[in-house]
Every structure is written in C-alpha cells, then in structure tokens.
Structure 1
Amino acid sequence: MAEFLTTINGYIWSNSLIYLCLAAGVYFSIRSRFVQVRQIPEMVRLLLRGEKSASGVSSFQALAMSLSGRIGTGNIAGVATAIAFGGPGALFWMWAVAFLGASTSFVECTLGQIYKTRDPLTGEYRGGPAYYFHRAMSHTKAAPLFKVYAVIFAAVTVLACGLLMPSVQSNSMAAAMNQAWGVSEWVVALGTVIVLAFVIIGGVKRIAAFAAVVVPFMAVGYILISMVIVFANAGQIPEILSLVVRSALGADAAFGAIIGAAVMWGVKRGVYSNEAGQGTGPHSAAAAEVSHPAKQGLVQAFAVYIDTLFVCTATGLLILSTGAYRVFEGESADGKVLADGGVLPSDAAVGPAYAQHAVDTLWGGFGSTFVAISLAFFCLTTIIAYYYMADTNLRFLVGKAAAKPVPVIRGTVGANTTLVLQALILVSVAVGALSTATDAWTLGDIGVGLMAWLNIIGIIIIQQPAYKALRDFEKQKKEGKDPVFDPKALGIRNATFWETYEPEGEREKVTVTK
C-alpha cells in the first residue's frame, strides 16, 4: 500500500503541477497588475479594521482562520524537509511561490467572497471553490459540466481535509513531543482527539474565536524566538542568503546537481505551507463579514506573506544559520550526504528535529520543548481549519441533509453526516499520530496536490469576476468611498448573496428610522 500511495503521489506531484503553480502565479500577477505589491498598505489597513455580524466573522478572524490552516507543520517540518532534500535553494523557491501565490490567493479568495452563501442550517456564511465553480458558470451552457466539477472538488476536499491531511499534523506533533519529553504517540493521539472534539463540535464561531486568540500568539512567539537565535548568528546571514540564492540557481558546486530538487521541494512545500492556489483559503475568506469581496481577497493575499515570508523564513534561517541541517542526494534520507552543518547528531530524523537542535545551539535543552509546544499549537489549529473546510464542502454536497440521520443497516439509523465527518477526522488524527512520517506526508501531499490541480485549473477559467471586483474596489477607493459591492452593476451574475446584501450598520439605520 505504501508503494502504491508513493506512486500515486509521484503522478500528482509531477513537474506539471510545479509548473502550473508557478505559471498561474505569474499569470495572475500580470492580470492583477501585481496586486500583491500595489495594495500592501491597504492589506495592512484592512487587517486592523473590519466588520463582523451574527452571520459572519471579522476580517481579522477570517485571516486567523486562514492562517490557522496555513501555519502548521509545513512551517517547521516542511521547511526542514525541503532543505534536506532540495538543499538551501529550496527556501528561495518557497519565497518565489509565496510572492507569486499571493496573487493567486487574491483571485481565489475574492471569488470565494463573491459567490458565498448563507448556510440554511446555521445562518453562517459558507463558500469556497465548490461554490464558485457551481455558481460562476450556472448561467452558461457549461453549467452542467461545472456543477459536476464543483461536486468533484467538494468530494476531494472532504477526503483531503477530513482524512488525508490531518494525519501529517498529528504525526509531526507526536514526533516532536516524543523527541522533547519521550511522550508515547498513543498519549499524543488521545490528547489531541479530546481537545479537537471540544473545539470542532462548537461550529465556525468557536473555531474563529479559538483561532483569533491562538494564531497571532503562536506565530509572533515562534518568529521572535527564531529571530533571536538568527540574530545571535548575524555574522553568518549574508553568506547564508548568498548560499540560498546560489543553490536555487544551480551556481553552488555542492548543490548544482540537485537544482531540480530545489525547485520541486521549494514549490511543493511552499504550496503545502501557504496553500496559495490549493483552494483552502477561500473557505475562511467566505466566512468574513465585509462590504466588498476585494477587501477579504487582499487580506488573504497578505496571509501568504505572513505564512511564508515570515514564519517559513524564520525556520529556514534558524536551521541554516545554526548549522542544524543535513542535505541528501536522491530526495531520500538514505541517499548520499551532500552537506552537513555539523550540529545534528547522526541519528537525527528529517523533520522537527532540525529546528529543535537549532534552538538548542543557543539554549541547550530548550529547543525540543519550544518546538514541540509551537508545533502543538500550529498543528491543532491547522487540523481545526481542515475540519471547517471539510464540513463546508460536506454541506455543499448534502445541504440540509447534513443534519438528518443516515441509515447504516436496514432498520437502523446512524448519526447525521456532520457527526460522521467529526468522527472520521478524529480517527484520522489518531491514526496519523501512530503512523510513520513517510506515510503521513505521502497522504498529505496527495490531498494537497489533488485540490491544487482542480482549483488552479478552475480559477483560470472563471477568474474574470475577481478582476472586475478589484477594479471596482480601487475605483471606489479613489472616489473616497468605503467600497460596497454591487454585482449587477459590474455584470457579475449569480452572486445572489450580494444582490440583496446590506451592511449590518445600514440595516440598523433603517430600523431606527422606521
């Protein structure tokens, strides 16, 4: 089975997907006139102010939900893996895919807002790729095809976020805690299941509240500690940055033979970490209460920067500046060692141990504990975000039937589909904690790759409404207005939520006047 999954993963993560991710980022950057650069001041401003309502969360909460899905084991174990198998140059390609991916994230998240809807069971906002694939083309002759496409994406997302991807997070947590405190994987599995069960049963509001508190704290704390250690090795930073660039471009003698691996692992782990183009970001983007879709598109584009340029860079510089790395030939820990920073013990496994030993170079014995705690927060919030995405797509597939019990055996009735999903994701977490790292990462990569293929191809086809929203947003800003979205005026069809939308403040004014 392991060999079969590895083969499937090889087909999914072929060079074609790598080129697709990079080419899409370049294309969206040009079409949006490099919105990821032009609108950085507005991105920051929108983060600091935003609306929320009984149906939607604030822009910051939606960002926190998105970051809770983006910032996970990919930011620590994923960066270590990329360096181990792609060399220092992999970090450069992570930066490249983040810069280009920010424009991709803007497009997909703006589409998520444009075509969002209100959940008939809870009243909360729901949206994502399945919703915009179905709605954006529903007035055309291609409507039946895109309806099927939407169903396929939703089903793949339930599979990926509900079963495949959570196992990577729990596996890294278990590995880090075992390294730090010798805690049994069984204990980690049980503890994680208990904490997750409490949070996910509370619904999107509890998820947003949990993420808004935990994500900023954990991200800032991790970056600060990492930067303290990097600054302690400040004299090496110019050479480290030079090494990263030389390795990425094949100009370094030691890593020239693995330039292809640098690109592959940089893009692969970059997409896994920042999720630009994967189709996960639009789910949390759609949950936000904003007066214009472009607002949340900009906020989510900035989330890519936070994830990769801040958190992943902190890990990469931490590992490289302390010498806590080992680079292998053949993209396997069994391959020839091409470079060794001289800090790692001979039995150090590729993954969280790299960062743990890196921190130990300044504070002996503290590294294992610090990274284990950081990973616990990162991974927990990521799994919670995965559940929200899986649940959103389940609601798309079954609608109100999500609350109805489903037959199990003739004459008996089981739990409703939402409870079944909750049970499945908890099982996935437990199994992941007890699996090998190789198996867990293979499953996770398959989930990410399947979603990325479907989402990127889809948004290339239906991208136009995102640019219309961007131009409208910028036009209203120039006129000194707080932009409000009117899809009919822009010729955007099937954005039914916005056709009757009034900002909550305006609804209150009408009530008072009456």
Structure 2
Amino acid sequence: MARCHLCYCFTTVFSIGFIAFQGNTVAGSALESFGIDRWISGTVLVVAGGFIVFGGIQRIAKVADVVIPVMALIYIGMALIIIVLNIADLPALMAMIVKNAFGIESVVGGGIGVAIEQGMKRGLFSNEAGLGSAPNIAATAYATHPVSQGISQSLSVFIDTIVVCSATAFMILLSGVYQPGAEVDGIVLAQQALTAQLGDWSQYVLTISLLLFALSSIMYNYYMGENAINFLVKKNTKTATLVLRVVVIAILFLGAVAPAATTVFFFADPLMGVLALANLLALIMLFPRAKRLLDDFARQLKSGVKEPLFDAQEYEKLDLDLSAWGKKAVKEALEQKQ
C-alpha cells in the first residue's frame, strides 16, 4: 500500500496536464472572443497563477466560493436556452448519437472502441473519476461516516458528466457548428455554438467564466500537488515546493501558447493513465476495507438510523486514523452538520 501511495503522490505532482489544459482553454477562448494573442494570455495567466501559488490562494478561494457557482449556473442556463430553442430537433439528435455510437457501422469500423477510449480520456479531465485526486479535498470535509462522504463525492461526478457535459454536447450539436474534420476543437466549438444561437455577448460571458474556472482549477491542482510533495519529500520541503511552483507556472504558460487542445491532450493523456493505474491498484487493495465500511453504513440504515455514525475503534483491524474517525471526531462532524 505504501508503494502505491508513493506512486500516487509522484504521479499527482507530475500529472499537471490539468493545469496546461486550463491555460490552453482560457487562451483559446480569449483568442476567439477578443482576438488576444496566446502569448499575451499566457503572460496574464502566469501573473495570476504566480499570485495564487506564491501566497494569494486564500483570497482567490474566497472569491471563487461566491463567483464560481453563479458562473456555472449562468453557463448551464445558456445551454438550456439553446436546447429549448431547438427542442424539436432534440429527439432526432438523440437518435443520431445512439446510432453513431452503437450502430453496425460503428461496430464493424471499430467506432465503439474509439468512442469508449475517447470517453475515458476526456472523462478523466472532466470529473477525475478514478484518479484518486478528489479524496484530497473530500478528506477536509466534516463527515459522520466515510460512506456518506463517498456518496457525496459521486454526486459531483454525476453533475459534471451527466449535466454539464451533456448540456455542452447538446448545445454544440443542436447549433450546427460542429463539422467533422474541421480543425476546430475544445472551447472554440462551445463559443461558436453560443454565438450562433444567442449572439456575440454570450461568448464574452463564457470567456470571463472560463478565466474564473481556470483560476480555481489551478488553485485546486496546485493544492493537491503541494500535499503530494509534502508526503513524498520529508526533508527540504521548501526547496521541493519552490520547484513545484516554478514548474506549475511554466506548464501553465506552455499550455496557453499550445496551438490547440489536442496538443495538450497528447502529452497529458499518458500522465492521467499512469495516475489512474496507480489509484486503481490501490482501490483493489482497499476493497476489503471499503466493503466492511459499506456494510456498516447499510446496517445502520436498515436499523432505522437517519444519520449513520462511524466509530473506527470498533474496526481496529482496519488501521484507520482515530483522529479522523474516532468517537470525538464523528461527534464534532455531527455537530458541524447541525
């Protein structure tokens, strides 16, 4: 387990393709909306990113807590408007998606395999399911039972993939801007869809939203990288952290000036695969523990308990952190919820 954890930390630090992707998305959006050169956008992102990783993370977090949910709702709202405006075409679109994914031509031509492969790759960037990164954040929450926290985390994957990603796909396909073989990808497609359906103002809203999303994502990924560094390097953590900060800023700039999202994916996809492999191996090893925790949660629900409580002292053989799951910690979490 220790080796798997070490591998996880190592790949977490160097799998900074997420940060490169954020830089590429913002720069591409700024180029499409305002005609701003990628080099200029990259420089602005370097300044903003430097502010985050060298001390401004708390101030950014306070702003993000308020602004990000609002911008997300605005984006989903614009997508829903486009869907409603083209509601008559939605059944035909759904039929086309299913046919192209599972039709005989896809089976014979290997289309299903390609669709699954692309879905897995983009899914890793979208919701990070299977990467093992989300527990870094989930562990900071007050929870009365580890299973209840796991259920909460699974909800985020559903919202991100089923709601946001599906809304984006419908928006692009219903607007008619997607042309197979055209050298247009990533955020530019979403911007063109919004412009075609709602007018020029919508792409500016999207660009501003993306900048805010990117800053919060950079903060999130850097936070995980720093945690991994602190675990991996027991000595000289200041030097290691400084190196991480410099690498993050450099990758952010390189991602911004990359000509297309596919360029970033080319380098980032293998890193995501390594990270997923390390985490999945750890999950297999942890399955017996997870099964016992799930059984405990289900048993309490069947007995009529509305808020299952977990006491790690009853499961000493699981070798859990008593400071996190002891009676005192669970009691504090319950009080925090109330």
> How would you bin the TM-score normalised by the shorter chain?
0.7 to 0.9
**Residues 1:159 and 2:18 aligned together:** no
**Preserved CA contact (<8 Å) 1:486 1:498:** no
**Residues 1:444 and 2:268 aligned together:** yes
- SS of alignment partner, residue 180 of structure 2: strand
TM-score where L is the length of structure 2? 0.88
The equivalent residue for 1:248 is 101
5 Å-filtered alignment, 1:75-94, equals none
The equivalent residue for 1:351 is 186
Q: Structure 1: which amino acid aligns with 2:217?
A: T
Q: Structure 2: which amino acid aligns with 1:150?
A: H
Q: Which 5+ residue runs of structure 1 have no aligned equivalent?
A: 1-145, 334-347, 404-415, 510-514
The equivalent residue for 2:111 is 258
**Preserved CA contact (<8 Å) 1:323 1:358:** yes
TM-score where L is the length of structure 1? 0.59
Q: Please, which of 393, 398, 403 is the counterpart of residue 228 of structure 2? A: 393
For 2:46 and 2:304, locate their aligned partners in 1 and report how far apart those are by CA, in whole Å: 51
How far off is 1:253 after superposition? 8.1
Using a 3 Å threshold, how does the CA distance of structure 1 residues 253 and 485 change in structure 2: closer, same or farther? closer
The equivalent residue for 1:366 is 201
The equivalent residue for 1:421 is 244
Query: Per-residue CA shift, 1:262-283, capped at 9, x if unaligned?
Result: 2221222123211110111111
How far off is 1:196 after superposition? 2.6
- SS of alignment partner, residue 305 of structure 2: coil
The equivalent residue for 1:190 is 43
Percentage of matched positions with identical amino acids: 32
Q: Please, which of 289, 299, 309 is the counterpart of residue 484 of structure 1? A: 309
The equivalent residue for 1:456 is 280
For 1:461 and 1:238, locate their aligned partners in 2 and report how far apart those are by CA, in whole Å: 44
The structure carrying a bigger helix percent of its residues is 2
How far off is 1:321 after superposition? 0.9
**Preserved CA contact (<8 Å) 1:170 1:189:** yes
**Residues 1:473 and 2:326 aligned together:** no
**Preserved CA contact (<8 Å) 2:13 2:229:** yes
5 Å-filtered alignment, 1:96-495, equals 146-161=1-16, 164-202=17-55, 209-251=62-104, 258-328=111-181, 349-399=184-234, 401-403=236-238, 416-437=239-260, 438-477=262-301, 478-480=303-305, 482-495=307-320
Q: Structure 1: which amino acid aligns with 2:192?
A: H
Query: Per-residue CA shift, 1:424-458, capped at 9, x if unaligned?
Result: 21121112111232332212212211111111122
- SS of alignment partner, residue 325 of structure 1: coil
**Preserved CA contact (<8 Å) 2:144 2:331:** no
For 1:499 and 1:165, locate their aligned partners in 2 and report how far apart those are by CA, in whole Å: 32
**Preserved CA contact (<8 Å) 2:309 2:330:** no
Query: Per-residue CA shift, 1:355-399, capped at 9, x if unaligned?
Result: 111112222323432332232223222222111111111111124
How far off is 1:198 after superposition? 2.9
- SS of alignment partner, residue 488 of structure 1: helix
Superposed CA RMSD in Å reads 2.8
- SS of alignment partner, residue 212 of structure 1: helix
For 2:292 and 2:166, locate their aligned partners in 1 and report how far apart those are by CA, in whole Å: 34
**Preserved CA contact (<8 Å) 1:165 1:447:** no
Q: Structure 1: which amino acid aligns with 2:328?
A: E
Q: Structure 2: which amino acid aligns with 1:450?
A: V
For 1:375 and 1:156, locate their aligned partners in 2 and report how far apart those are by CA, in whole Å: 26
Higher relative contact order (CA 8 A, sep 6+): 2
- SS of alignment partner, residue 483 of structure 1: coil
